[in-house]
Copies of this chain bind each other. A is one copy, B any other.
Amino acid sequence: MFGYGLRKVFYTNFRLARKELTGTILESYDPRVVLLKLDSGYNIGIPLDKILDSKILKKFKEVEISDEDFVSRKKGLKKIGLVVTGGTIASKLDVKTGGVKPLTKLKEFANFYPKLFDMVDVKKIEIPFMMASENMSSEHWIKIAKSVEKLLNDKEIEGVIVTHGTDTLHYTSAALSFFLKDLNKPVVLTYSQRSIDRASSDADLNLICAAKMALSNVAEVMLVGHASTNDDFCFALKGTKTRKMHTSRRDSFKTINDIPIAKVWPEKIEFLREYNLRNNKRKVNLDVNFSDKVSLIKYYPGQKANILDFLSEKCKGIIIEATGLGHFASSESKNNWIPKIKKLIKKGVIICAVPQTLYGGLNPNVYSSGRELKECGIIFLKDMLPETAFIKLGWVLGHRNWKGKEKEKMLNNFSGELSELLTE
């Protein structure tokens, strides 16, 4: 009965004990539950046994559309570019498993998100790959950056939306923040935590707010998604200061040590801080030099320093998530890391510290452990997020002409990765 591309859609009125609801029926993975897309765009689930009566108001067949020309472009709308990379926002429920499987055809994407195509003219779509984000690595960040660059340098395109899985979205947003130099237009990453055909999906609002930001004057790499568990507005967050902080909530992305750039509604934007301005005449430049010879570890009490030997065999740089203001086992401990750190830094390994608390900044000057570690030559990255620091170190080490200047580059604020807003 339900098949994509050619499916019957029922616009239906339901009468429940306490209220009436009208909307379009979605494919449900649970035969005891009806999923209904309300006119507001919000999806809800209604247990079958709560429905007193129902009435089909409209029944229509969707037109089969080809992958090549599926986009129903409306005249007069502003043009954006879209990069689709996989993830839940490009997935649908798998009726068999109750899990989620990827949308494999572009037309499915268009079917699922008609509101986006009512709001903007999606001039070009790039699909560098379709993948769950936990399976990505640097080659994927580079591919996305190249797709984005191509779209940004199209004169007609006002901004670019990248849809992406949530798991490692903040790594990708950091990578794009460093890879896209002299950014001319908005680059908006968005996602969903619940696929669009599921009750209470966040996909619709996220995508529409992403479109709103893609047309704005903000020339920044941003992540746009639910600001709270309410389905009312989104935040636009800085690509280098954001982290997935919840496994399942719709507002799982949070700005750490910073404030959002803006609150975003489908119809308006409220700015919360300064941002870089759009300049459509400028061309964006790609700087995708990246070395995979970096590691990220989190220090825990009792951890042996020989992990550093293992890592430094293949790596030129190591990010350590330190405790507190920037500490790990020092000379007070039997497990002293200082001699090993000194040896590796002498050998040319770049070792950086970031806060494992995530919030707050490092200050190695307060305690003796910190002072000892600082004297070894560790680079303390203030309030930089571990994930952003990992990406940045790979990017810095990818530039051969920056050899010897790694500390200066790591502490240079290229894309807002170091906050100036830090207070207690």
Chain A contacts to B: CB under 8 angstroms:
97-101, 131-138, 165-168, 171, 229, 243-250, 252, 292, 295-304, 307, 310, 314, 321-330, 332-335, 355, 357-363, 365-369, 371, 386-387, 390, 424
Q: How far is the CA of A133 from the CA of B322 in the complex (A)?
A: 12
A247's partner among B131, B247, B359, B387 (CB-CB below 8 A) is: B359
A249 to chain B, nearest CB (A): 6
B298 engages A298 (CB within 8 Å): yes
A383 to chain B, nearest CB (A): 8
A354 to chain B, nearest CB (A): 10
Residues in chain B near residue A295, CB distance under 8 A: 303
Residues in chain B near residue A135, CB distance under 8 A: 329-330, 332-333, 335, 369
Q: How far is the CA of A123 from the CA of B132 in the complex (A)?
A: 59
Q: How far is the CA of A243 from the CA of B355 in the complex (A)?
A: 13
Closest to A243 in B: B357
B357 engages A99 (CB within 8 Å): no
A366 engages B99 (CB within 8 Å): yes
A244's partner among B248, B250, B328, B357 (CB-CB below 8 A) is: B357
Residues in chain B near residue A136, CB distance under 8 A: 301-302, 333
A298's partner among B132, B244, B296 (CB-CB below 8 A) is: B296
Q: List 5 A-B contacts (CB under 8 A).
A: A134-B324, A137-B301, A168-B300, A247-B324, A296-B300
Q: A100, A132, A166, A321 — which one has the most chain B CB atoms within 10 A of its CB? A: A132
A134 engages B100 (CB within 8 Å): no
A323 engages B168 (CB within 8 Å): yes
Q: How far is the CA of A84 from the CA of B102 in the complex (A)?
A: 55
Q: How far is the CA of A279 from the CA of B74 in the complex (A)?
A: 73
Q: How far is the CA of A104 from the CA of B272 in the complex (A)?
A: 48
Given A244-B324, A249-B359, A357-B246, decide whether A132 and B368 contact each other with a Cβ distance below 8 A: yes
A320 to chain B, nearest CB (A): 11
Q: How far is the CA of A362 from the CA of B167 in the complex (A)?
A: 12
Given A249-B359, A301-B137, A357-B245, decide whether A366 and B325 contact each other with a Cβ distance below 8 A: no
B327 engages A132 (CB within 8 Å): yes
B327 engages A167 (CB within 8 Å): yes
A349 to chain B, nearest CB (A): 17
Q: A134-B369, A167-B327, A297-B298 are in contact. List 16 more A-B contacts (CB 8 A).
A: A99-B365, A132-B327, A133-B301, A134-B329, A134-B330, A134-B333, A137-B302, A137-B335, A138-B301, A167-B323, A167-B324, A247-B359, A247-B363, A248-B361, A252-B360, A310-B310
Residues in chain B near residue A304, CB distance under 8 A: 314
